[in-house]
Chains A and B, each alone.
Chain A
């Protein structure tokens, strides 16, 4: 079946602009995660949804970052007033919950110029 889909695959934006990154999880997966990964680093946790609600948003670096999952399926990560330090690959993953393994998408490479 289809895996986790992330769009766009690449996004270049100017400092100060607003961006939205989309994640379409595997059908039926209740848990959805956002991570970001910088070069040479491991995935850094941002936020975790169980269904429609954010079960853990402790990884969001500041209030410029926000994520939603209104119908318990597709999720959007929103970044306001982007900064050059936000440049990274943003990874989305889904799972069937609990201890189930994560299935990652190919990521969105965000470049803030």
Chain B
């Protein structure tokens, strides 16, 4: 079945440093979605990318969807303590299914 892998599993940065997490799927995706889960909370939708090579920005967050629609990245510029949490990518296969397969996530810790 479809597998979604994320690296790194964990990253600890100093406030103000940049952070990047990478997502790779074993199959072509129809779209990629990113979610953030704060400690003790539930996943919250951040953004969706649909087109090959698409780049979207949300303030300090930049999301990219690969040309082959099998990989994606999330880059945070100048991290803040409010960025702490686990970032998940998720995508349905490009086969008509709507089931979202999640990666294991990247846990981000930010020290002040």
Contact = CB atoms under 8 A, between A and B. Distances in A.
Contacts of A91: 42-43
B99 A99 contact: no
A98 B100 CA distance: 11
B100 A41 contact: no
Q: What range describes how many residues of B lie at the interface?
A: 20 to 34
Interface stretch (B53-61, B62-70, B76-84, B102-110): B102-110
Q: What range describes how many residues of A lie at the interface?
A: 20 to 34
Contacts of A104: 42-44
B67 to A, nearest CB: 20
A31 interface: yes
For the complex of A and B, 6 pairs with smallest distance between CB atoms: A101-B45, A42-B102, A104-B42, A42-B104, A43-B102, A56-B99
Contacts of A102: 33, 35, 43, 45, 100
13 contacts: A35-B102, A40-B104, A42-B105, A44-B102, A48-B99, A91-B43, A93-B43, A99-B48, A101-B45, A102-B33, A102-B35, A102-B100, A105-B42
